[in-house]
Each structure stands twice: as C-alpha cells, then as structure tokens.
Amino acid sequence: MRAVLIVNPNATSTTPAGRDLLAHALESRVRLTVTHTGHRGHAIEIAQQAVTDGIDVVIVHGGDGTVNEVVNGLLGRPGPLPLGPVPAVAVVPGGSANVFARSLGIPADPIEATNMLVNRLGSREPWRRIGLMDCGERWGVFTAGMGVDGEIVAKVEAHRKKSEKGVSAARYIRVTVPTVVAAARREPRLTLELPDRDPVDGVHFAFVSNSSPWTYANNRAVYTNPGTRFETGLGVFATTSMNVWRNLLLARRMLSARANIKGAHVIREDDVEWVRITAATPVACQIDGDYIGEREMMMFRSVSRALSVVAPPTETESELRG
C-alpha cells in the first residue's frame, strides 16, 4: 500500500517530533512519502499529484483547512465525481479544532489517532464512505456559513496572519461577541430556500452542516443539527432574530447533544438534499472554517458516498460486520 503523508508545519499542534513519530509508525504499514505544505493551496497540488501517481491513501497531519484542500485536490471542482480511483483520506489531527477528524470518531490526541490509524491500515475491512457538500465553487467537508459566521472567520483569519501563536477558543469568543452585537443592529439580509417549502426571508445568518457537532470550543462540542451525519443529507440552521436573550438560551441548548435545539426564531432542518441562500447585498461566507469572501448567492448540495476515509466504522457498519 502506498501512502503520502502531508504535514502542515504551520498548523497549531504539529511539531517535528510528532511528525517523525507518526512517519515511523506508518512505515510499518505502508510505503510512505512525506511532504510539507509551503503555501496556501499547496495541499491541493500534492493531492492532485497523488491521484496521478496512483497513491492509495493520503494522510493529513494538520487542521481542517488542510483537509479541505486535500479533498478538493483529490476530487477536483464540484460536479460529477471522478470516474477513476481516488485515494482514501486519513487524518491525524494537528490543528486547533480538528472538527472533521473528531466528527469521524478519530481521537483529538495525535498519538491516539496515530495508533488508531495504524490499526485501521492493517485491517482488511473496506474504507468508510462519506458524503460531502457540493458548494458550487469547491467541496465542503463538514460546514459552511453565510452572514455573521463568515464575518467571524474572516476576523479570526486576519488575527492568525498577524500572530504566530495560532487561534484559541478564547480568541474566537473575543471576536464573536462584538461581531454578533454589531450584526444585531443590522436588518436581516438573507433568504433561505429549502426543498418543498416556501422561501424564508428575514434571515440573519445560516449554517449548513455535513456532520455533527458543528464545531468544538476546546473539548466542548457545539451542536446545531445533532442528527446530521456524514451518511445523511445536509443540516440547516438559521435564525430570523438577533435578540440577545433568545440567542443566549439558544447558545445554551447548542452546548447540549440533545435534539431540542429550537426556538420561534430558529429554522432547523435535517437530512435535506439542497439549500440555497441569497443575500440582498454581498455577505461574508466561510467553508470549513476558511473565509472565501463575500457572496450574493450560495447553493449547497448533498453528495452521498463521495469520499473514502480511513476512520472508525459507523455503529450500523459495526453491527453488520459483527
């Protein structure tokens, strides 16, 4: 089995010692090539070459942004999936949130994740297949957002460029509070369209999810659509009010895995095939925690079984194999 290990040396929790330990462990299972990203978009280029070279597995040691680049490099621009073989994706967390890996059941601790990966690579079980989000201009792996969510990501990215210490949950909170307060003073600009229902105007912000949780605040999971999985359709979460008290109650519910995340001002749908969001004026957008700029319209579609991943099987898969 041939594998490429892509290391993002600038990710929050990657170190040379951790990289060497990971590479040494993997070499017991695969013929390994180690590469380092050197610029934005570099992981896309490496993944594209992996497809050309007929690599079996691309292993990412980095954060969610690197994972997104790898997936887009492997699959190309959204549309029909590649007809030929595409390498599976494995992840050893190296970022700050590592939402994709943790949503797949991969441990956040790099050593534990490495041990799990080595065991999975030595197993004869088939790779797990997961769905992705077709976001029109690129693939989304676990989340996307329009409105205040995109504004927060843009400000956090600006901080990351100025600081060598990465981004912490505390930094997100310091950015989120004033951004939400400012958004509460504006008129809602979004319209939400979903299958088999009338368009909803007056939306302040909208999140689209491909998995659950939506994100993590350190070790605390934050939920918007607890029923959304990589094997289901998309989850949609939006609000028509920025009232402080309503949203404080909502935030409390989002910190619980229970499915009662609701409110009179909340639009929440699970397992939808597509969602279309339009804006009266261009608004900030993010995909997988990466700010992509301002958009007047975004269309998101669920594409099932789009990608092979080296990850623990779902409970259903485990029961069938057991």
CATH code of the domain in which 20 resides: 3.40.50.10330
In a shared domain, residues 14 and 153 = no
pLDDT confidence of residue 19: 85
Same domain for 265 and 145: yes
Query: Are 55 and 153 found together in one domain?
Result: no
For residues 283 and 281, give the distance between their C-alpha atoms in angstroms, rounded to a whole number: 6
102 and 242 share a domain? no
Residue ranges making up the domain that contains 108: 2-124
Q: What is the DSSP code (8-state) at residue 254?
A: H
Do 23 and 148 sit in the same domain of this protein? no
Low-confidence spans in the chain with pLDDT less than 70: 159-173, 175-178, 180-181, 183-184, 244, 257-259, 315-322
**pLDDT at residue 15 in the model:** 82
Number of domains in the chain: 2
* 52-110 pLDDT tens trace: 999 999 999 999 999 999 999 999 999 899 989 999 999 999 887 889 999 999 999 99
Give domain status of residue 231, yes or no: yes
Helix axes 16-26, 110-121, angle to 10 degrees: 20
CA dist 6 and 3 (Å) reads 10
Is 320 among the domain residues? no
Dihedrals φ, ψ of 44, to 5°? -60, -45
Question: 225-257 burial, b if ≥16 CB within 10 A, otherwise e?
Answer: bbebbbbbbbbbbbbbbbeeeebeebeebbeee
Q: 185 and 89 in one domain? A: no
3-class state of residue 63 by DSSP: coil
> Is residue 49 domain-resident?
yes
Q: Tell whether 110 and 207 lie within a shared domain.
A: no
Under 8 Å between Cβ of 225 and 252: no
pTM: 0.90
CATH number at residue 212: 2.60.200.40
**pLDDT score, position 321:** 53
Question: In the prediction, which pLDDT does 228 show?
Answer: 94
